[in-house]
Structures are given as structure tokens and as C-alpha cells.
Amino acid sequence: MSEISKLEKNLGVKFVNRDLITQSVVHRSYLNEHPEFELDHNERLEFLGDAVLELIVTEHLYRTYPNPEGELTNWRASLVNAIMLAGIAKDLGIEDFLYLSKGESADANSKARMYILANAMEAVIGAIYLDQGYEVSRKFVHDKVISKLPEILEKKLYEDPKSRFQEISQDKVGVTPTYKVLEESGPDHAKHFVIGVFLKKDMIAKGEGTSKQEAQVSAAEEALKIKNWE
């Protein structure tokens, strides 16, 4: 069985034009090292797949739930964000088929890899749409992405990590978390923050980011894991 046949089997989709599914897993960095490669990178497919994914998810939410726009927007964001899409891509084994530069290949557990996987997932959806049309794309998105919605609603994963950590902290221990900058470095245009999240005087976790808000969210995410409050 060829590599592309294995990927098709993982996805549950058989392509007419296999160049499309191959291109969906080609990262820009690979072409920098292999300029002779016959296909382009996946960014145009990602652009298309992002729109297809958003339409299918939005249509499902609109038709299924009478909730106000703000709630539906939060639910949609929780389904199509990079963390969710990267996780689905991993579950589908897409990572094993990525065309990456040697540097990117070696950087398996980085934040950059998460975005590469999420983008590849969108590119795969774009490829399915071009090759198979809207109905097959809709079934794929329902099976692989929208199927995550019940868990998201049950665990309130659509709430941002800071809100979740605050709500659970107040419920479980009667304390509102506080955040403190532990380190601040870099020039104004490229700041780096390390922030701690505290319950009273106890630091629960640290987070890093290019803004205070990003670092606080990172700290809250880590705190949820440490406290096993996810």
C-alpha cells in the first residue's frame, strides 16, 4: 500500500486527484530544501479549507441550536481552533505524512508543529472539497470535527482557560486566581513574558507568551492540567 493510500484510508476518503491530498501535507519548509518537488506547498489549500470548515460548522450550529450568536461563535471557535484541529490531525495520523524540512521534522513537540498540523488539517479539508465536493466534505467535517462538540459543551471547553480556571477555583476552593509577572524580557516589538497564576500565596503554574494576556492564558491552561480540573 502506498503512503498516500494509507493517508486516504486514515481519512476515509479516496481521491480522484491524488496530487491534491499529497499537496495538502506539503509544508513550505520542505520546498525550501527540495525546490525540484513537483507540487506546491499547502497554504492555498489551507486558505480554502479554513472557509469550508467554518461554513460547515457554522451551518450545523445554526440549524441545530437556537442559542444566541455570541454563544454559537464561542462554540465554533472551540471546534476550529489550532489546538483542536492539531489534535484531530494527530488522531488521523496526518503527522506521519507531512513533508517537512529537516529542521521542522526534528521539532516534533513545539508550538510551531501544532500550527503546522492544524494548517494541514484545514488543507486536507480544502483538498477533499476540491476533489469530492461539498457533501463529502460536510460528512468528513461532521465525523471528525463536529463529533467533538458534545464533549466541548459538557466540559465547557468553549470558555477561555482563564474563565474556566477562575470559575472552578471559586467553586472548589472559594478563591479567585491572581496573576503576577515573573519575568519580562525582549525589546518593545518582541516582548516575552513569564507569568505565574496564584491561589492565595501558592503559585499553581507558569505560562509564557508574547503578551501578558497570552502568558496568562498559558498559565491558566497549565494550572487546569496541574489541578486536574480539565
Non-local (6+) Cβ contacts of 145 within 8 A are 53, 57, 79, 80, 84, 85, 88
Candidates 46, 122, 131, 222; catalytic one: 122
Cβ-defined contacts of 50-59 (< 8 Å, 24+): 50/80, 50/122, 50/126, 52/125, 52/126, 52/129, 52/134, 52/137, 52/141, 53/80, 53/122, 53/125, 53/141, 53/145, 54/80, 56/137, 56/138, 56/141, 56/142, 56/146, 57/141, 57/145, 57/146
Q: How far apart are CA 47 and CA 109, in angstroms?
A: 24
50 is an active site residue: yes
Candidates 50, 104, 131, 222; catalytic one: 50
Non-local (6+) Cβ contacts of 54 within 8 A are 76, 80
91 is an active site residue: no
Give the sign of the dihedral formed by CA 93, CA 94, CA 97, CA 102: negative
Task: List the catalytic residues.
Answer: 50, 122
